[in-house]
Amino acid sequence: DQQVKQNSPSLSVQEGRISILNCDYTNSMFDYFLWYKKYPAEGPTFLISISSIKDKNEDGRFTVFLNKSAKHLSLHIVPSQPGDSAVYFCAAKGAQKLVFGQGTRLTINP
């Protein structure tokens, strides 16, 4: 029973363009959502979060959108840079616990 799903295992984007990573969840009790970025042999690094009372949060090149009715969130990165190539995990929080998606590998091509 996967409560948080990232349906695209991989995504390839040209440098300078927008990267859009998607995440769906099933549990309507989730009230806080996060995106993490992970490089090989390192731990996940926190990127950006959003509370369920908001529908958008921006931090520099990163914007997270939350659509509660669709139980969907997305991460927009613009403009995409080569250093953004990594695996991105979305996570949802409910009952004090984080549930992670399986990750999307983003590759930024020069």
Partner 1 sequence: DAGVIQSPRHEVTEMGQEVTLRCKPISGHNSLFWYRQTMMRGLELLIYFNNNVPIDDSGMPEDRFSAKMPNASFSTLKIQPSEPRDSAVYFCASSWDLSNQPQHFGDGTRLSIL
The residue range among 7-15, 17-25, 26-34, 65-73 that interacts with partner 1, by the rule CB under 8 A, is: 26-34
Residues 64-93 touching partner 1, rule: CB under 8 A, are 89, 93
Q: How far apart are CA 27 and CA 29, in angstroms?
A: 5
CB nearer partner 1, residue 43 or residue 60:
43
CB nearer partner 1, residue 49 or residue 79:
49
The least distance separating partner 1 from the CB of residue 56, rounded to whole angstroms, comes to 16
Strands (E) located in the chain:
4-5, 10-14, 19-25, 32-38, 45-51, 56-59, 62-67, 72-77, 86-94, 97-100, 104-109
